[in-house]
Chains A and B, each alone.
Chain A
Amino acid sequence: MSTERPPSNAPETETDSPELARFDRFSVGGILLFCTIPPLVGVLLAVAIHLFVVLPAIGVGSNGLTRMVRLGEHLATIEGTRAGKPRVCVLGDSVSVEGIDASAIERSASDAWQVENYAINGANREQIRVILPKVLATKPDAVVYILRVQAIADPPPLPVDLAYAYALGGFPAAWPSGWLNESVPGISPRAMDGLEASRFAAQLHFRGALVYRFNDLMHERFSGKTKLPAPDNWRDAHHMTGGITGERLDRHIKTMEDEVSAAARMSDPAFPATLERNEQDLAEIVAEIRRAGATPVLVIAPVHPRLRASRPYAEVGARLDQRVDELVERFGAVRVDARLLLEADDFADAQHPGPTGRDTLSEFIGKGLPSAAGR
């Protein structure tokens, strides 16, 4: 606040400036057209460049999002028969992206499985639900679902960008009736709009592809410990090239504890009953795998030694154990418990396996795969 009088609040009369007099040659209709036609031409030009140049050249921009689109396209190329080698599909989030090497699973499995890793960074339970029907339409013999403790907690809302990427990948077309709607945890109305968008609308949604690409490239250049995630690598898609230690690891451990605690709503007096809806959702996923004739293989993901004893991981983990046991009983699922499998050195951070962890975990899962004889 000034003690002297600031400039007057009275409006300026900028439109009286002599430069503007040249616009007076236009009629009102003329100036309206002059101001609207070029921007419309610009928008049409932009749409054309976007559809015919940008999207074919760089996809939806971010490699993470492009992986979702590519997965849909990849699944569409797989014939839905059970001829040839028995197939196993791996589903999960970044722990599975980093921790699964399809070759290592195949090497250690008792039968000649053909393994593909469809894990997607950040794919919580609701995203597994989005992609599952299309995966099952390819008639896999087994589906490995890697479960972190968050699998029975509230998933964060599905980001709208991801919803449009899944739409562009054609996943919603494979959903059975009533498979996914706004009542499913993590699916907001806006995310549902994205999932149900037409192909053209989904393409237009990614008009920011150039920005995403720019961010991805700069991220890779500056972060040093990651490379861009491979959008169409279904074997060994890991992209972390280094790990964290010391204070940064401490912070990550704390972040993970807080994340699980918040997602499981542990401060809610009704905990652990607050998990029930999510557990029901998980059961529906496993039931759907079984209904499609595939064997559900439920892998309890490795937990960092420093997190095992923490309350969120211990309590929610114990609950997850019970639920997995029930699912094994109800649906004949196979249980593979890797919770205590890895040492601290096997982790790149508080949750993602590093190179040694990847080998160990993949071999462990391979050994845990069921016999393919009875398929």
Chain B
Amino acid sequence: MLFQTPEFLVVFAISIAGLLCLRRASHQHTLFAVLSYIFYAWIDVRFLILLLITSLVDFAAALGMDGVKLSWRERLRLSGYTALMGYVTLGLNWPMLQVSHQGFSFDNFELAGFFTPRWDGLGASLAAVAAFCVLWPVVYGWLVNAYEGERRRKAFMVVSVVCNLVVLGFFKYFNFFVDSFIAAGASVGIELSRPHLDVLLPMGISFYTFVSMSYTIDAYRRELVPERSFMRFNLFVCYYPHLVAGPIIRPQNFFPTLEQPWKLRARNIASGFHLVLNGLFKKVLIADAIAPFVENVFSAPSAGATSIAVMLGAAFFAIQIYCDFSGYTDIARGISRMIGPELPINFNFPYFSTSIIEFWRRWHISLSTWLRDYLYIPLGGGRGTPTRVYFNLMATMALGGLWHGASANFLVWGIYQGALLCINRVIRGAIERRPRLDAFMQSKIGTAFRWLVTIYFVLLGWLIFRITDPKDPWNFTELWYCMKKFVIFDFDFGLSSLGLGRGAPFHAAACAGLFVLLHTVSRMKGHFNERLDRAPLWVLPLVYIGLALMLYFLWPTHETAFIYFQF
């Protein structure tokens, strides 16, 4: 389900009504878990069971680490719940009602057909769920009883991490690895046939897997007390504002909010509403307006895109991805703020960074801090020899790149960012050893220079991120063409490759200009939503009416999903 759709308004209205009617925290948790299931299942109901199974594994693993001996009754209750949800999600013919990714229709409903689903892999999927429901209580009991102390903690930790990575690896990377394997075979003259297994990518799997893993890792590190209520834990993982595209929340921040019932407060509703407006503005009026132009430039650039076209394409994509993702984050945070829990910030003016290191402190903060805390620091972080530190950086960023998607360009993008961070460290060290140069770099001219260099490499990075061949993950022909055009200017000032008449370049240019202006003002005077928070009350209705008018006339007729949904 997308935030900017009518069906989400229904979910949100039920959320508000629920908070008004339900006073007990446990009832609220149940309601929000159910709403989150619906929110997630709206795209493809079958993936919901995957989410539940990974949640159950991590829930049980954290308890197991602490030596909690769940009774057979508790284990069977959880198994029964999982089996029931398995039947509901897999055993009913929801696709019959699912007319498109947009929503449901009862036009084709037929009672008998609803109970006899016929989709590929049904039997295997149901059998896998049944096997899980039977096996996990046994494995849990065995691990709790067979191991003691640290060995038990480690055993449950390994089970949890392996389960998460296997699920993530299979559903997200199976096709990529198979295609890569076939491509590698072909390159040495070995013809390999593709196995007949079309694995669909569950939406938001990277996000919720990281959320869930952070819980077990923190439990392993004794940084939290494992949760005893599966419903509460489940809500932590699948709470709908953050579920499909983050921000990646941490258990230490979320669980305390569950101690008391969530209460609607006027100030939270107003402030959250302003954040939502801010996000909608970025997503709908900027990102979606720019998207067709970017698509037009990068659909087949080697057909003749000039350096100007590639550079503008990269710059516009930088704006698009920022407005798309930070717009989503603002909407998610705004909705959550209205309901109760505060979600972490994810962006802090990344394009004003004057170094790559700073960029990564400001871009997708919840992911970069996750990678830092759960990957970079465990690898050794900044300790050890320079070579070791560079290896840690490269490995962290390469995996962070691959986290984004199952395509070689994301891996290359991660390695590229890792290399930039290493180079940044080397140059920073060298400059710090030369006081005069250091002073120059801190001056206004030096800062402008650092900004230019940073933005140049960030844009080059976005080219790697954006240009991919869905048919062949290792095909870099288009990317290589664009990188050459970006790095070596061709002095072709023709505008035809900008797609005049296609891709709405003028509207996109106007929106990009508006973004640059407003973003700079926001940097100097505070975010738009914060200024709304401070604005006189009589001004607010006028602003709301003005924004509604703008959104009406400028809301694109084509629906554009959030870019990070695919990750």
Contact A222 B495 (CB under 8 A): yes
B507 within 8 A of A: yes
Given known contacts A207-B552, A207-B555, is B496 in contact with A20 (CB within 8 Å)?
Answer: no
Give every chain A residue within 8 A of B369 (Cβ-Cβ). 6, 8-9
Contact pattern, A 245-264, Cβ under 8 Å of B = 1, otherwise 0: 00010010011000000000
Chain B contact residues: helix, strand, loop or mixed? helix
- Please give, as numbers and ranges, the residues of chain B lying within 8 Å of A254 by CB-CB distance: 303
Q: In the complex, are the beta carbons of A19 and B266 less than 8 A apart? A: no
What are the residues of chain B within 8 A of A35 when measuring CB–CB?
A: 269-270, 273, 544
In the complex, which of the residues B273, B343, B507 contacts A214, with contact meaning CB atoms closer than 8 Å? Answer: B507
Shortest CB-to-CB span from B529 to chain A, Å, is 9
Closest to B376 in A: A1
The answer, yes or no, to whether B360 is at the interface (CB within 8 Å) is yes
Whether B558 and A160, one on each chain, are in contact in the complex, defined by CB atoms closer than 8 angstroms, is yes
**Which of chain B's residues have a CB closer than 8 A to the CB of A8?**
369
A35 to B533 Cα, complex, angstroms: 12
CB atoms of A208 and B357 under 8 A apart: no
Interface assignment of A177: CB less than 8 Å from any CB of chain B: no
Q: By the criterion CB–CB under 8 Å, are A11 and B548 in contact?
A: no
Q: In the bound complex, do residue B557 and residue A46 qualify as a contact, i.e. CB atoms below 8 Å apart?
A: no
CB-CB contacts below 8 Å: A202-235 with B: 205-208, 210-211, 214-215, 218-219, 222-223, 226
Binds B, one of A37-45, A315-323, A355-363: A37-45
Question: Are A6 and B20 also in contact (CB < 8 A) when A1-B400, A20-B533, A42-B552 are?
Answer: no
Q: Which residues from A are CB-within-8-Å of B265? A: 15, 24, 28
Choose among B266, B396, B547 the residue that contacts A23 (Cβ–Cβ < 8 A).
B266
Name the contact of A10 in the complex, choosing from B344, B381, B421, B548 (C-beta under 8 A).
B344
B506 contacts A by Cβ under 8 Å: yes
Chain B residues within 8 Å of A10, by CB: 250, 252-253, 344
Residues of A within 8 A of B185 (CB): none
Contact of A3 among B20, B357, B500, B504 (CB under 8 A): B357
| Nearest CB in chain A to that of B247: its residue | A9
Residues of B within 8 A of A161 (CB): 557
CA distance A42 to B544 in the complex (A): 7
**In the complex, per-residue mask of B76-119: 1 if CB is within 8 Å of any chain A CB, else 0:** 00000000000000000000000110000000000000000000
Task: Determine which of B16, B252, B348, B504 lies in contact with A215 in the assembled complex, contact meaning CB atoms within 8 Å.
Answer: B504
Contact indicator A7/B501 (Cβ below 8 Å): no
Chain A, 15-28, contact with B by CB distance < 8 Å: what is the 0/1 string? Answer: 10101111111111
Residues of B within 8 A of A32 (CB): 16, 269
Which of B253, B533, B534 lies in contact with A9, CB distance below 8 A? B253
* Distance in angstroms between the alpha carbons of A326 and B268 in the assembled complex: 72
Known: A11-B343, A39-B545, A45-B545. A208 touches B557 (CB 8 A): yes
Q: Could you tell me if A6 and B271 are in contact, using CB atoms closer than 8 angstroms?
A: no
Known A1-B360, A11-B342, A20-B270: A39·B556 in contact at CB below 8 Å: no
A50 at the B interface (CB under 8 A): yes
B75 at the interface (CB under 8 A from A): no
Select the residue from A35, A45, A226 with max chain B CB neighbours within 10 A: A35
Q: Does B366 contact A (CB under 8 A)?
A: yes
User: A43 touching B533 by the CB < 8 A rule?
Assistant: no
A189 to B396, CA, bound (A): 43
> What distance in Å separates the Cβ of A349 from its nearest Cβ neighbour in chain B?
11
Does any Cβ of B come within 8 Å of A77's Cβ? no
Compute how far the CA of A19 lies from the CA of B536 in the bound complex, rounded to whole angstroms.
10
Known: A1-B418, A2-B361, A39-B547. A21 touches B500 (CB 8 A): no
Q: Closest residue to A6 on the B side, CB-wise?
A: B361
Question: Which A residues touch B376, using CB under 8 A?
Answer: 1
A206 to B556, CA, bound (A): 9
- Interface membership of chain B positions 385-400, coded 1 if the CB is closer than 8 angstroms to chain A and 0 otherwise: 0000100010011001
Contact A251 B495 (CB under 8 A): no
Taking a contact as CB atoms closer than 8 A, the residue among B368, B542, B547, B553 that contacts A6 in the complex is: B368
Whether the pair A43, B548 counts as a contact (CB closer than 8 A) is yes
Asked if B267 CB lies within 8 Å of chain A CBs, one says yes
Q: Which of A19, A160, A211 lies in contact with B533, CB distance below 8 A?
A: A19
Shortest CB-to-CB span from B500 to chain A, Å, is 5
Which one of A6, A39, A207 lies within 8 Å of B365 (CB-CB)? A6
Interface assignment of B513: CB less than 8 Å from any CB of chain A = no
What is the number of residues of chain B that contact chain A, defined by CB distance less than 8 Å?
78
Task: Report A138 CB to chain B, min CB distance, Å.
Answer: 30
Query: Hey, what's the 0/1 contact readout for B505-537 against A, CB within 8 Å counting as 1?
Result: 111001000000000000000000010011001
Q: Is B425 among interface residues, defined by CB-CB distance under 8 A? A: yes
CB distance from B444 to the nearest CB of A (A): 24
Contact mask for chain B residues 414-430; partner A; CB cutoff 8 A; 1 contact, 0 none:
00011001000100000
Say how far A117's CB is from chain B's closest CB, in angstroms.
21
Contacts of A242 in B (CB 8 A): none
User: A14 at interface (Cβ–Cβ under 8 A)?
Assistant: yes
Instruction: Choose from A14, A45, A210, A222 the contact partner of B500 (Cβ within 8 Å).
Output: A222
Q: How far is the CA of A373 from the CA of B452 in the complex (A)?
A: 75
* Complexed CA–CA distance, A14 and B495 (Å): 46
Interface pair A219/B553, CB less than 8 Å apart = no
Contact pattern, A 120-148, Cβ under 8 Å of B = 1, otherwise 0: 00000000000000000000000000000
Contact of B548 (CB < 8 Å), options: A42, A160, A190, A255: A42
Q: Which of A3, A10, A206, A207 gathers the greatest number of chain B CB atoms within 10 Å?
A: A3
Q: Is B371 an interface residue (CB 8 A)?
A: yes
Partner of B271, one of A14, A210, A214: A14
On chain B, the residues within 8 Å of A214 by CB distance are: 506-507, 510
Question: In A168-224, which residues have CB < 8 Å from any B CB?
Answer: 189-190, 205-208, 210-211, 214-215, 218-219, 222-223
B549 at the interface (CB under 8 A from A): yes
Question: Does A47 sit within 8 A of B, measured CB to CB?
Answer: yes
Does B545 lie within 8 Å of A3, measured CB to CB? no
A13: Cβ under 8 A from any B Cβ: yes
Known contacts being A9-B369, A17-B533, A208-B554, is A24 close to B267, with CB within 8 Å?
Answer: yes
Q: Output the nearest chain B residue to A194 by Cβ-Cβ distance.
A: B557
Q: Is the CB of B557 within 8 A of A207?
A: yes
B397 touches A9 (CB 8 A): no
Select which of B393, B494, B495 is within 8 A of A1 by beta carbon. B393
B123 contacts A by Cβ under 8 Å:
no
B382 part of interface (Cβ distance < 8 Å): yes
Complex alpha-carbon distance, A11 and B252, angstroms: 11
Please determine whether A7 and B348 come into contact, CB atoms closer than 8 angstroms.
Answer: yes
A39 in contact with B361 given A31-B270, A32-B269 (CB within 8 Å): no
For the complex, is A79 an interface residue (Cβ under 8 Å from B)?
no
Chain B residues, CB < 8 A from A190:
100
Residue from A12, A14, A45 having most chain B Cβ neighbours under 10 A: A14
A30 within 8 A of partner (CB): yes
B541 within 8 A of A: yes
Q: What's the minimum C-beta distance from B313 to chain A, rounded to whole angstroms?
A: 17
User: Does the CB pair A38–B496 fall under 8 Å?
Assistant: no
Report the bound CA distance from A144 to B530 in whole Å. 62
Most buried by B among A21, A32, A41: A32
Contact for A42 among B421, B425, B549, CB less than 8 A: B549
- Sample of 6 further A-B pairs with CB below 8 A, known A3-B357, A189-B100, A222-B506: A1-B400, A2-B361, A11-B342, A32-B16, A42-B549, A251-B303
| Nearest 7 Cβ contacts at the A-B interface | A42-B548, A46-B552, A218-B506, A38-B544, A42-B545, A11-B342, A3-B382
Interchain residue pairs with CB less than 8 A apart (25): A1-B417, A1-B418, A3-B382, A3-B393, A9-B344, A11-B345, A12-B342, A15-B268, A15-B342, A21-B267, A23-B266, A26-B266, A28-B266, A35-B544, A38-B540, A39-B544, A39-B547, A45-B548, A160-B557, A211-B507, A214-B507, A219-B500, A222-B506, A223-B501, A255-B303
